[in-house]
Amino acid sequence: MPARRRDTPPPNPGGSEKEVLVGFLDYLRASVIAKLSGTPEPAVRTPGVPSGTNCLGLVNHLAHVERFMFLGQDADWPATFHAGADQTVTSVISDYEDTIARVNAVIAACDDLSTPCARPARRGTAPSMRWALAHMIEETARHAGHLDILREQIDGATGR
């Protein structure tokens, strides 16, 4: 059994509400990237559970959710959980990092977290940036936990 290592806790930047929320989100994003990095083919896209969930698909999905919430790009949600045959660990991480940079620029430009996010309004008004940040923290944390389990099943890697 591989030794468990102690993870670095989330940041405690103090500061504004936005700095705290973005700090937690960035911490979780880095955890997701660290968990996907080095995952071997074909295991990275092989479902680890009966639902079909796999490592590459989870990170692909997270990039789509960020673009949906903060950039206003819609998606075919079931398809986001599957990476294409031409997508690799490197390309999915690169896409996710590019999305994070674009989203962080949008968040940085927001002076009032009560303003609506860019999410396409399917059922009325889009939620506030505050809600979108809290939701993205929850979404990323949930899928980071899924990645933890899937990665451990693949090669025993644990920790951030």
Each residue of 36-77: pLDDT tens digit?
999 999 999 999 999 999 999 999 999 999 999 999 999 999
Q: Where do we find the tokens 């923290």?
A: 137
Segment 83-102 shows an average pLDDT of 97
Residue 89 has pLDDT above 90, yes or no: yes
Q: What does the pLDDT read at residue 125?
A: 86
pLDDT value of residue 4: 53
22-37 per-position pLDDT tens digit: 999 999 999 999 999 9
So what's the pLDDT on residue 5?
Answer: 52
DSSP conformational letter for 7:
P
- Indicate the Cα dihedral angle 137, 141, 63, 27, nearest 10°: 70
- Tell me what the mean pLDDT of segment 89-105 comes to: 98
pLDDT of the residue at 158: 82
Average pLDDT of span 90-118: 97
What are the structural domains, with CATH classification, of the chain? Answer: 17-155 (1.20.120.450)
Q: What's the mean pLDDT when you consider all of the chain?
A: 91
CA distance linking residue 107 with residue 22, whole number of Å = 8
**Of all helices (H) and strands (E), which one includes residue 22?**
helix 17-36
- Would you state the pLDDT for residue 103? 98
